[in-house]
Amino acid sequence: MLNSFFDHSLDPQAIRERVLEVESGKVGFYSVGLYPASLAYNCAMQNEAGRLMLAARPGRELLGAFDDETLATMDRGHVATVLEMGSHLVEGERVSNLLADLILNCELVLLSANSNHVEEDLLEACRLRQELNRPQVVLACLAGSFNHDPISNSAYVLCEKQPSLAFFSGFHRHGALRNPFDSFTANFCHPDALTAMLGAQLLDRLSPNIQVSAGVHNVEGQYIKAAKNMASVFAGFVYAFHQDNPGVLPTVLTLLLNQCLDQAATVSMARRDRQKLYHRQPIPLTELGYAVPRIEATLVRDGDFEKVRDHTFTQLTAMVADVRGSMMLPVSGRPTRNFQAGQVLAQQMCEHGRCPNSMEELEAWCEDAGLRKGALEGLKALRYWPQIARRYAIPVHDCSMVNLLYMAVYGRANVKETAYEVMTKSRELSNYCQESVRPTHSRRYAEALQNLEIPEALDLVVNAVIADNARRAMRCDMDLDEIDQSGVPVYLQLMNAIESKLDT
């Protein structure tokens, strides 16, 4: 898929005209939803509405994401302005905008649907670009979940499947964009630095309360969005269930943040365009605001250093702030919807004394609490988590918190009981946080040292001492999963269960 503001022309005058055309262009949001509608309301408050167009999906109301209570508090004049952004005049009558109207009139179109519709919207937008002879309209998405192919039964990050698709992400509370004095930051990412810079400038000019900076890491940005939605559910659970145990909260939140970034850094290594991303840019990444051109992590394997993670994207402040902010309980207003889902999970687990029997039961709990199932991207992403972990070869110790949440929802009955013990007991949860971040092979020896009365465990330690290096010991036939775990702590039992099912 070609996705650029420019064609292949080498004519300086034509390019000059195109730059000016883009610079004064409009931005369109298709499908709408809470985020775009709140953004439009912010533009209306700041008298910057002229640069933004909206088009609701057929059968969807432009302001349908707001509940009646919220709508009642919104300024009637600003609401009228937002409704005007979603329509145009035809022979003196107001007609609702369609996706085709955005393609015709905007230079940048953001597809704001979730993972249920974004791929079909992308195909339709590409078709309309060609049909309307507007190939230089740049397309972007906001989807914060994983996509799924039912034919191959595989899950993936859409921006990885479509490398030139732009991604827009920013953190906001539900009411922040309707506050005339609040502000927020965002990143607009496209693998071409110049396209990213121009797109970010268009979005930045929508409102003085919105600061948008450019980046090239669209794949990482979309992965982080999905990962932090799952992490936000866990954060909401810990805030609600362990509110009387404040010592465990900083540990859990730190681990959730670090693991989101470490997972994205592993995904970054799998990019098909990774070398092009750094070596074939029209402008240096440092001109976009990156402090250094590249940040990589290495690991010693078979005596040699091997690059295992690419952390360059962590220089995008808004991306990291999105992860951190989504896991915080606000001083005023409501937390994110995924965070609220975690709070519901905590309340129901406390009431029932167990984990949910299924994802359907958890979603029903959320629906009963006033949370729409379709808006809970964290739960949707969790459904495809094992496929994502396998596809991108994410190490178990980099995703132990998501694994714990997954087992609490999708595990077998006996595993759910163990997960409940770990999630609800402060000491077990702290131990899990400390031990689960160790690579599997290093923890084998820690477990063996705690079970020296078991002959097989003692043999493992003896082999390690005798061997000239740890690699030989790691290849021994001994498997600790075969050891009787009756005396093994609950958190270690759960880690063994997770690794037997999810280890990649």
In this model, does residue 500 exceed pLDDT 80? no
What residues form DSSP beta bridges with 437? none
Residue 449 has a pLDDT of 67
429 vs 349: CA distance, rounded Å: 15
Q: Which of 249-263, 356-370, 385-399, 475-489 is predicted with the least confidence, judged by mean pLDDT?
A: 475-489
Q: State how far Cα 203 lies from the chain centre.
A: 20
Greatest mean pLDDT among 224-233, 244-253, 317-326 lies in: 224-233
Residue type, 238: V
pLDDT band at 472 (very low <50, low <70, confident <90, very high): very low
In this model, does residue 485 exceed pLDDT 60? no
In this model, does residue 24 exceed pLDDT 50? yes
Alpha helices in 242-376 (DSSP H): 248-269, 274-279, 317-326, 337-352, 359-368
**HSE (CB half, 13 Å, CA atoms) of 370?**
8
End-to-end CA distance of the chain: 31
Residue 447 has a pLDDT of 62
Q: In terms of residues, how long is the chain?
A: 504
Q: Taking residues 275-296, what's their average pLDDT?
A: 93
Element holding 28 (H helix, E strand): strand 27-31
Distances (CA, A) of 5 to 30, 187, 192, 325, 390: 19, 18, 10, 32, 35
pLDDT band at 473 (very low <50, low <70, confident <90, very high): very low
Helix (H, G, I), strand (E, B) or coil at 185: strand
Judge whether 115 and 380 are in contact, CB under 8 Å: yes
Residue 178 has a pLDDT of 82
Residue 481 has a pLDDT of 47
Q: Taking residues 260-286, what's their average pLDDT?
A: 94
DSSP state of 320: H
10 vs 18: CA distance, rounded Å: 12
Q: Taking residues 444-450, what's their average pLDDT?
A: 64
Write the secondary structure of 399-429 as one string of H (helix), E (strand) and C (coil): CHHHHHHHHHHHCCHHHHHHHHHHHHCHHHH
pLDDT band at 295 (very low <50, low <70, confident <90, very high): very high
158 vs 162: CA distance, rounded Å: 6
Residue 486 has a pLDDT of 58
In this model, does residue 374 exceed pLDDT 90? no
DSSP state of 148: E
In this model, does residue 392 exceed pLDDT 60? yes
Query: 491 CB contacts (<8 Å, ≥6 apart)?
Result: 422, 428, 429, 431, 432, 435, 436
Q: Taking residues 1-8, what's their average pLDDT?
A: 93
Judge whether 411 and 372 are in contact, CB under 8 Å: no
Q: Taking residues 108-112, what's their average pLDDT?
A: 97
pLDDT band at 442 (very low <50, low <70, confident <90, very high): low
Residue 437 has a pLDDT of 87
Residue 465 has a pLDDT of 66
Q: Taking residues 424-435, what's their average pLDDT?
A: 93
Q: Taking residues 6-34, what's their average pLDDT?
A: 93
Q: Where in the chain is the domain with CATH 3.40.50.720?
A: 12-215
Burial class (CB in 10 A: 0-12, 13-18, 19+), 58: exposed
What residues form DSSP beta bridges with 38? none
Residue 357 has a pLDDT of 97
Residue 389 has a pLDDT of 95
Residue 195 has a pLDDT of 96
Residue 143 has a pLDDT of 87
Q: Taking residues 454-463, what's their average pLDDT?
A: 71
In this model, does residue 484 exceed pLDDT 70? no
Phi and psi dihedrals of 187, rounded to 5?
-120, 135
Judge whether 259 and 235 are in contact, CB under 8 Å: no
Residue 228 has a pLDDT of 96
Element holding 305 (H helix, E strand): strand 304-310
In this model, does residue 469 exceed pLDDT 80? no
Q: Taking residues 133-150, what's their average pLDDT?
A: 94
In this model, does residue 146 exceed pLDDT 70? yes
218 vs 227: CA distance, rounded Å: 14
CATH of domain 12-215: 3.40.50.720
444 vs 488: CA distance, rounded Å: 13
202 vs 216: CA distance, rounded Å: 16
Distances (CA, A) of 101 to 52, 143, 168, 191: 12, 22, 21, 26
Cβ neighbour number for residue 354 with a 10 Å cutoff: 15
% of the chain at pLDDT higher than 90: 68
Judge whether 217 and 188 are in contact, CB under 8 Å: no
pLDDT band at 483 (very low <50, low <70, confident <90, very high): very low
Residue 454 has a pLDDT of 76
Residue type, 10: L
Q: Taking residues 369-382, what's their average pLDDT?
A: 92
Residue 329 has a pLDDT of 87
Express each pLDDT in 296-339 by its tens digit: 998 877 667 888 999 999 999 999 999 999 998 887 778 999 99
Judge whether 112 and 142 are in contact, CB under 8 Å: yes
Phi and psi dihedrals of 447, rounded to 5?
-65, -40
% of the chain at pLDDT higher than 70: 90
Residue 47 has a pLDDT of 80
Residue 181 has a pLDDT of 83
CA angle 326, 328, 330 (to 5 degrees): 110
389 vs 163: CA distance, rounded Å: 20
108 vs 111: CA distance, rounded Å: 10
The DSSP bridge pattern shows strands 138-141 and 52-56 to be unpaired
Judge whether 90 and 65 are in contact, CB under 8 Å: no
Element holding 101 (H helix, E strand): helix 99-105
Alpha helices in 132-247 (DSSP H): 158-161, 193-204, 218-241
Cβ neighbour number for residue 154 with a 10 Å cutoff: 15
317 vs 384: CA distance, rounded Å: 27
469 vs 455: CA distance, rounded Å: 22
In this model, does residue 370 exceed pLDDT 80? yes
